[in-house]
């Protein structure tokens, strides 16, 4: 198949503009939920769930999971369209911070689902991370025993649970302070996790090479308390599939 110049897929938003894509209280089935090149999913029918711009240096948006029920969510990301073997290397990078360390699950990375009513790709309790859908990325979950660290799980379709201690970065999440998170997946399924520019983990076979993935950043409520996440920017990179 012939190739041309636009062989690189580059999706980026700095969230500096008046990009309030959801004014809350909109049904999740309403078309056109997007911000820059990314789509917005989650429990958008809730009156306290959605995306709003923040008056913070460099430009941030805040995404909110509603206070209505456990697992209410808001997610910014792509459709499920990236295959490691056909589009790799895949890259997702974001800079973000959270105003509190309670009652929330945060996922950053690649997973196999990003539907309108988006569920947590991974859940966690005390010492265990449990797969909801196959995922490779970063996890923060206030329900873990070590509740203030970034974790770096990788869960294939054949996996169920992983011990949190085996994927603990040791990096402490500090409320009100931003971290740069970057995950890369090679065509052979090898993945790398970087936090604030430092390589924290490399795992061969972390992703199934032929499975389609979405790149997402999401916050999910773990109680009936509202959960929020502030995002400075989001970058997703991939290569075009020229085999079709």
108 or 225: which carries more pLDDT confidence?
108
Q: How many CB atoms lie within 10 A of CB 30?
A: 11
List CB contacts of 59: < 8 A, sequence separation 6 or more: 14, 15, 16, 17, 53, 232
User: What do you get for the CA distance between the two ends of the chain, in Å?
Assistant: 7
220: β partners: 73, 105
pLDDT at 34: 81
What is the rounded distance in angstroms from the CA atom of residue 103 to the CA atom of residue 118? 17
Least confident of 18-32, 86-100, 205-219, 227-241: 18-32
pLDDT tens per residue, range 156-174: 999 999 999 999 999 999 9
Pick the CATH number of 8-238 from 3.40.50.970, 3.30.1330.20, 3.40.50.300, 2.60.120.200: 2.60.120.200
Confidence band of 22 (pLDDT split at 50, 70, 90): low
Q: Is 22:33 a contact under the CB 8 Å cutoff? A: yes
- 87 pLDDT above the threshold of 80: yes
The per-residue pLDDT for 18 is 55
Instruction: Please check the confidence at residue 31 and state whether its pLDDT lies above 60.
Output: no
At residue 217, φ and ψ (nearest 5 deg) are: -130, 125
pLDDT digits over 177-186, tens only? 999 999 999 9
Contact 206, 84 (CB under 8 A): no
| Mean pLDDT (whole number) for 17-46 | 65
Higher pLDDT, 55 or 198: 198
Domain boundaries along the sequence of the chain: 8-238
Render pLDDT for 96-150 as a digit per residue (tens, 0 to 9).
999 999 999 999 999 999 987 778 999 999 999 999 999 999 999 999 999 999 9
pLDDT for the residue numbered 70: 61
Number of H helices, E strands in the chain: 1, 20
- Confidence at residue 25, expressed as pLDDT on a 0 to 100 scale: 45
In the predicted model, what is the mean pLDDT of residues 197-206?
Answer: 98
Cα–Cα distance for residue pair 123/212, rounded to 1 Å: 21
Among positive and negative, which fits the CA dihedral 66, 167, 161, 187? positive
CA quadruple 219, 70, 140, 123: dihedral sign: negative
For 208, list phi and psi in degrees, rounded to 5. Answer: -75, 125
Task: State the chain's mean pLDDT as an integer.
Answer: 89
For the ranges 46-50, 93-97, 126-130, which has the lowest average pLDDT? 46-50
Position 166 scores a pLDDT of 97
> Which of the four pLDDT bands, split at 50, 70 and 90, describes residue 16?
confident
Look at residue 132 in the predicted model and tell me its pLDDT.
Answer: 94
Averaged over 39-67, what is the pLDDT? 81
């Amino acid at each position: 198949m012939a190739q041309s110049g636009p062989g690189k897929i580059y999706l980026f938003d700095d969230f500096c503009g008046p990009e309030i894509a959801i004014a809350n209280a909109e049904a999740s089935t309403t078309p056109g939920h997007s911000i820059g090149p990314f789509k917005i999913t989650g429990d958008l029918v809730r009156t306290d769930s959605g995306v709003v711009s923040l008056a913070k240096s460099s430009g941030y948006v805040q995404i909110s999971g509603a206070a209505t029920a456990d697992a209410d969510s808001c997610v910014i990301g792509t459709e499920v369209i990236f295959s490691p073997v056909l589009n790799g290397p895949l890259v997702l990078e974001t800079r973000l911070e959270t105003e509190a360390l309670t009652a929330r699950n945060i996922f950053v990375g690649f997973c196999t689902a990003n539907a309108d009513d988006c569920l947590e790709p991974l859940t966690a309790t005390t010492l265990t991370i449990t797969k909801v859908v196959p995922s490779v990325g970063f996890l923060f979950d206030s329900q873990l025993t070590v509740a203030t660290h970034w974790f770096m799980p990788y869960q294939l379709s054949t996996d169920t649970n992983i011990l949190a201690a085996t994927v603990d970065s040791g990096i402490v999440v500090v409320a009100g302070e931003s971290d740069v998170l970057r995950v890369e997946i090679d065509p052979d399924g090898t993945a790398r996790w970087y936090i604030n520019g430092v390589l924290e983990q490399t795992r061969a076979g972390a992703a199934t090479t032929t499975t389609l993935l979405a790149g997402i950043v999401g916050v999910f409520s773990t109680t009936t308390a509202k959960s929020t996440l502030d995002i400075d920017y989001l970058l997703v990179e991939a290569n075009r599939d020229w085999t079709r």
